[in-house]
Structure 1
């Protein structure tokens, strides 16, 4: 997903430069507002615009379209351009005005002199997104040269009338919203369009003047080859072709697309239904090519040798083609390349000198498939770099001091690379940095103070290294006012917080995620009292003692991990944790491996993940199951809880998917719906349950693990266990089960572990074969039948059947 987001972002930046006619027309329209002659616009034009305004949902005190008033010259209204000679409206540019309406009003089509129509980045889908684009009317706008309805919330089939707009130069119905996994930001241009076209060939058949075509995320029923054939025939002078994520199928081919040799932009990314095929070598001969995006379209084979002939190539994105191989691409010394995306491919060896030629490069992304011997000092020559992303690529050596010459960098990601040595102090020169990710390397030494004074830093992760020394949060990191993400986990650091920070006017008020795992901390940072936007807090594996303060629950928390500390209590007014956010169904709460006592507290609303294991809790709330409506992981093993399990915890068809109550003192009979309620992992080990195993096990049983070791279970094994076809682990050791060997379990093909030791099984083991179906325990890797009453001989075939135990 990361590469998709950056590709889209880059395209958006490039498209601004590639719309000179559109931009010029828009600017001209606005400039004409004050230069239009005294001649008033035609009354019919003014009336049409006023009716259009009435269709928009504008608040009474809205400042949008305030110049649109009856009795005034519409040629002076914002977003409107007119012909100086006739007074007809020729340009309507309302892009990004934040307009809302229940569809596009048909009165728009009365403006038949329009040459430019831009309604992008508004929302015409209505409150329920149920309003479709008008099926008729566009054909009346025969003079249109530029039509832009991108990111406008419209849906439905592209109108047939579009194909009759023979003067069109630029057509844009695209959607360009994306999430960027690198910086955790969602880049929003406007409401998504949900459009489709049943026949691409018909759509473009008459568009002989077309120069720019943007149909990103418009679903087309035509094959890729048919689309290119139609464009080569009808629009041979096309310069920009953007068909990202259009569900294109079939082959790219090497015929029709090659005839569109005037193309400067080709974007076919995220069409993962395109048939696997080799890279279309002919595009390397397009002399005017500036942007080539073919991410995630099933390219395969060896990338052709040779260079791109275009000296103007700015963006090259071949990412997410896992079967595309080759040595790293070569470019001329005077290359203008700004963005190179090769993550998720099989491009291999990268010479250290490779970086010296890319002086114009602004974005570089390489992942684990590339063989990069070291990060060379010549990387300092790439002075235009804004984003450097080397992820999972095994690199030896250290981060070169010359990285400090990249003073335009906003994002530095060197993660999972094996880089060692110290973080260079020259990083202080990178004052534009917003994102620094140096996690999962082998970096040593102290965190340089120069890293902690970069003013624009928003995202900092240096977890999983061998960094050491003391970090005083109050004197360094808390001064980074723009910080939203911080992770110092899994190093050899000692993190402290000096006095006096609680009233400091400088602190990261927008901090959203904080990770300080295994940082030798002895107390919860006081600054947290002042932070109102924290959603993720991980202070696990420290040495924090005392009570968990009540104020920690005031946040809109989604993830809170305080496990592996020395907490002994919780400051609560009741045993219901008072989360401020009432919608916490996706909450992750981990309080395991502490010394918490008393009754287990429950979140005020059902959480997704709850782990109270390895504490000293002694009881549960009487109605605790009321707080488990959305809980799929519920673990409170290794405590001192006794009593019987309420049947409401095992309501048939509902309840947790993972349940672990092991090593407590529960007693009584097992609930009848225990194994038929959607559970996948059930662990009741080392309790005092008695009675027989429930036989109510339907064919929909989803259990993968059953662990009832060390209880007082009696009777026979229920034959309905055969219905648990996903079962991998069955441990019934140290109970009082009386039965013969369950050869009928041989048909449970995923069973890997079978423990029946210390029961009262008897009789012959036989051939380790399902007597009814003739199936063996084909996946079994561990079997423990010790301390039972089995008798007879073990046939040699018994061992031959244990094929999964063989190396």
Structure 2
């Protein structure tokens, strides 16, 4: 109040009239829907509007955006949860719905960017109208939005003024119009990751100013030698996964001097990588069949070397450590051996060597490292203290997961105040968790120490303002009670304490964590009744709860079961191997999104409630094995798909699928011992809550895979392609892959 809006950050006014002509609120932490009655739409003289990298998820793109008659630049890109957070990404719904036809009313538009909104779609009529009316357009950026229903023919009338066209990851299909390659001013053309998009490049009369061409993972036919010899202005070429003439690396790489950024990933090129003596600054050749050792010649000005997902072996050659400009090195998913050496220059920003066979030595000199992934190797011994000096002021991601590390976690790790992701899981680390780790909460987002031999108690010093979203300490020897200071971590989504020696009563005080999605207390020493909740609806966002293999002696008449019936979004529930008594509550039938239910090995009595038939999402149903249930087994829907082993150990049950008919005095037939043993083994190891959670949109699970900044682009750190080894997960989600590829597309083209 009392200040001139023309002096506000992001606001520009006309010096003569005083009218607001530009608003730039990109990366401003805005969140919530954009209402049609917002006063933003009253700024009738607005010429430039940039709302990129905020969180307007769930909003539609209002038709009122088409009311800015003087608009020349409109940027509504990357609007989804996490985009307003400087260090973390929860990838979820973006802007949603159709691109309104009113956008085509902005006849003065020079630049339109709606990219990164993966729940937005555009239909052929609206796209055709947009292309027809926006005759001054020089930049059209729509990558990541849904164009699956668009006819590619409507792209034939694009403005001759166009200099940049980016339509990657849009689900385009059909033949790409030939005339686009002849647009007289086109410098950037990117249509990668449209898997069913076909086309061929001109073979004659092709004179073009193209500087960047990206056709990765399309069905374009490519003659590389011809292409490069004819495009004299081309600097960046990303054509991995296309239909090439020839099956081995092209020989021109050894003497061509024009291209600086080359992407040949996913191309099934085999054999030895060629020597490269050109001016290349970026080489992308991941997910091929390259074998042997790295070449002994490489450009001295190389900045990005991406060779992941090949069959390369041997040691990292010494010349890699001497490249003065090397910033990003990805050698993950190969067969390298030996030690990781010391880099002679301080240029390195990210290093991923996961899924190899390295056996020792970390790098010592990498003062500016931000991202370090050494996971899935054979590195052994103690964590040397000097590791904690690497990237001391810049390192935000550090993983040595799945190695053979022993000893304790050095308390010096707490000096790495910039850390956001720590993953020391699946090693042989022992001793106590450094108490100071709880104080890293100002930046720390994900702490994963699972499957080690850690003992002692959980740090009790989680301070107010704690930013933790995921804490995984399962598979250790931790004891004592859960620290109540965890309530200070208001953003917590995942808490996994499975398989420890933690005791105490059920942590009702966690009910106030409104973002908590996963709570796993399995296989500990918890005891006593569950109750004493203060909220009417505790755990409002819970998706998975597993308190199995504890000592909870309580009845289904207990208050918590009335609460559970209100958790309509719950997807997994495991209360097995406790001392539950009483009848199964009918309120379980309210959990219509439930996919996994286990109440086995308790002391339940009575009949199976008929309301459970309404749980049509159930894929895994072992809820009542080893109890004292009796009566008819419900029929219909999912219950018709469950086999006899779902009811094992309940002698009083009758009807399909059991051999005991209702009214028949014969007892049930026991399962073959092999079946029982296999099933018991399955439940002894617990159900995989991570897999169950995959069905819940993208959420935090996938956000963890998107935590590294688009290199040198100035975008926030949440915008990451840190998927690396995660891309090989057998439980891929289409939306997650879309986001990963979207970010990869952004990464490879950041300079253009």
Other structure's SS at 2:456 match: strand
Matched, 1:362 2:231: no
Q: Which of 240, 262, 265 pairs up with 1:388? A: 262
Residue 417 in 1 paired to residue 288 in 2?
Answer: yes
The 3 A distance-change label for structure 1 pair 781 and 341 is farther
Which secondary structure does the structure 2 equivalent of 1:551 belong to?
Answer: helix
Map 1:261-276 onto structure 2 (within 5 A).
Answer: 265=138, 267=140, 269-270=142-143, 272=145, 276=150
Q: Assess if the C-alpha contact under 8 Å between 1:158 and 1:195 holds in 2.
A: no
Q: Report the CA distance between 1:566 and its aligned residue.
A: 2.0
Structure 1: 5+ residue runs without aligned partners?
A: 1-53, 58-98, 111-116, 130-153, 163-171, 180-193, 205-212, 232-239, 502-506, 800-807
**2:197 matched to 1:324?**
yes
Q: Number of paired residues?
A: 600
Q: Which residue of 1 aligns with 2:393?
A: 532
Match of 2:448 among 575, 582, 590: 590
**Structure 2: 5+ residue stretches without partners:** 31-38, 55-61, 78-97, 662-752
Residue in 1 that maps onto 2:555: 692
CA distance in 2, matches of 1:255, 1:545: 64
Q: Is 1:721 paired with 2:588? A: yes
Instruction: Provide the rounded CA distance (Å) in 1 between the counterparts of 2:10 and 2:238.
Output: 42
> Relative to 1, partners in 2 of residues 1:366 and 1:158: Cα closer, same or farther, differing over 3 Å?
farther
Matched residue, 1:401: 274
Does structure 1 residue 480 correspond to structure 2 residue 345? yes
Counterpart Cα distance in 2 of 1:253 and 1:630: 40
* 8 Å CA contact 1:445, 1:467 repeated in 2: yes
**Is the CA contact (8 Å cut-off) linking 2:352 and 2:372 kept in structure 1?**
yes
Match of 1:640 among 495, 501, 510: 501
Seen in structure 2, the aligned counterparts of structure 1 residues 355 and 250 have a Cα distance that, compared at 3 Å, is closer
Q: 1:353 to 1:724 in 2, by over 3 A?
A: same
Q: Is the alpha carbon distance of 1:387 and 1:564 closer, same or farther for their aligned partners in structure 2, counting shifts above 3 Å?
A: same
1:582-731 superposed matches below 5 A: 582-584=442-444, 587-602=445-460, 604-605=462-463, 606=466, 607-621=468-482, 623-650=484-511, 654=514, 656-671=516-531, 677=539, 678-693=541-556, 694-696=560-562, 697-731=564-598
In the superposition, relative to structure 1, how do residues 328 and 659 fare at CA in structure 2: closer, same or farther (>3 Å)? farther
Pick from 607, 623, 626 the counterpart of residue 740 of structure 1: 607
* 8 Å Cα contact 1:198/1:220 also seen in 2: no
Distance apart, 1:707 and its partner CA? 1.6
Cα 1:538–1:278 change in 2 (3 A) is same
TM-score of the two chains, using structure 1 as the length reference: 0.64
Distance in 1, Cα, partners of 2:162 & 2:13: 39
| Alignment match, 2:16 | 108
Contact 1:751 1:779 in 2 (8 A): no
State the shift of 1:441 in Å: 2.3
Aligned residues of 2:339 and 2:362 also touching (Cα < 8 A): no
Shift of 1:749: 0.4
Pairwise CA RMSD of aligned residues?
Answer: 4.5
SS in 2 for 1:486: strand
Match of 2:618 in 1: 751
Task: Report how far residue 485 of structure 1 moved.
Answer: 1.2
Q: Deviations over 1:394-426 (max 9, x none)?
A: 413045324x1331x222222233433322222
What is the CA–CA distance in structure 1 between the aligned matches of 2:130 and 2:14, rounded to whole Å? 38
Distance 1:374 1:285, change over 3 A: farther
Alpha-carbon offset, residue 654 of structure 1:
4.0
Cα distance change of structure 1 residues 465 and 763 upon mapping to structure 2, 3 Å threshold: same
Higher gyration radius (CA): 1
Q: Report the Cα distance in structure 2 between the residues aligned to 1:741 and 1:426, rounded to whole angstroms.
A: 71
Distance in 2 (CA, whole Å) between partners of 1:539 and 1:456 is 25
* Residues 1-41 of structure 1: per-residue CA shift (max 9 Å, x gap): xxxxxxxxxxxxxxxxxxxxxxxxxxxxxxxxxxxxxxxxx
CA contact (8 A) 1:589 1:610 kept: yes
Kindly state the Cα deviation for residue 281 of structure 1 after the two structures are TM-superposed. 6.5
SS of the residue 1:691 aligns to: coil
Residues 375, 335 of structure 1: alpha-carbon distance in 2 compared, 3 angstrom cutoff: farther
Q: Does 1:551 align with 2:551?
A: no
Aligned residue number for residue 140 of structure 1: none
Residue 529 of structure 1 deviates from its aligned partner by 2.5
Report which stretch shifted further, 366-375 or 692-701: 366-375
Task: Trace 1:431-470 onto structure 2 (pairs within 5 A).
Answer: 431-470=300-339
SS in 2 for 1:577: helix
**1:45-77 deviations in Å (ceiling 9; x for gaps):** xxxxxxxxx9899xxxxxxxxxxxxxxxxxxxx
- Equivalent-residue separation in structure 1 for 2:574 and 2:29 (angstroms): 48
CA distance in structure 2 between the partners assigned to 1:781 and 1:354 by the alignment: 61
| Inter-partner Cα distance in structure 2 for 1:654 and 1:625 | 13
Counterpart check, 1:785 vs 2:677: no
Q: Give the conservation status (yes or no) of the 8 Å contact 2:565–2:590.
A: yes
Quote the Cα distance in structure 2 between the aligned partners of 1:655 and 1:318: 37
1:215: Cα distance to partner? 5.1
- Closer, same or farther in 2 for the Cα pair 1:414/1:702, shift >3 Å? same
Three-state SS of the structure 2 residue aligned to 1:540 is coil
Deviations 1:763-797 (A, max 9, x none): 343xx416xxxx45366579521122135554799
Give the drift of 1:547.
2.0
Change (3 A) 1:629 1:390: same
Mapped to 1, the partners of 2:519 and 2:446 lie a distance apart of 15
Name the CA distance, whole Å, in 1 between partners of 2:144 and 2:477. Answer: 54
For 1:347 and 1:270, locate their aligned partners in 2 and report how far apart those are by CA, in whole Å. 18
Within the alignment, does 1:492 sit opposite 2:357 as a pair? Answer: yes
Matched, 1:567 2:429: yes
Query: RCO (CA 8 Å, sep 6+): is it higher in 1 or 2?
Result: 2
8 A Cα contact 2:66 2:104, kept in partner:
no
**CA 1:786–1:368 in 2, change beyond 3 Å: closer, same or farther?**
farther
**Residue 523 of structure 1 corresponds to which residue in structure 2?**
382
* Cα offset, 1:716, TM superposition: 0.9
1:347: which partner in 2? 219
- Quote the residue 2:87 is aligned against: none
User: Aligned pair 1:242/2:118, yes or no?
Assistant: no
Residues 322 and 645 (structure 1), Cα distance of their counterparts in 2 relative to 1, 3 Å cut? same
8 Å contact kept, 2:349–2:368: yes
Once the two structures are overlaid, the 10-residue window that deviates more, 381-390 or 549-558, is 381-390
CA distance in 1, matches of 2:73, 2:552: 66
Cα distance in structure 2, aligned partners of 1:683 and 1:259: 57
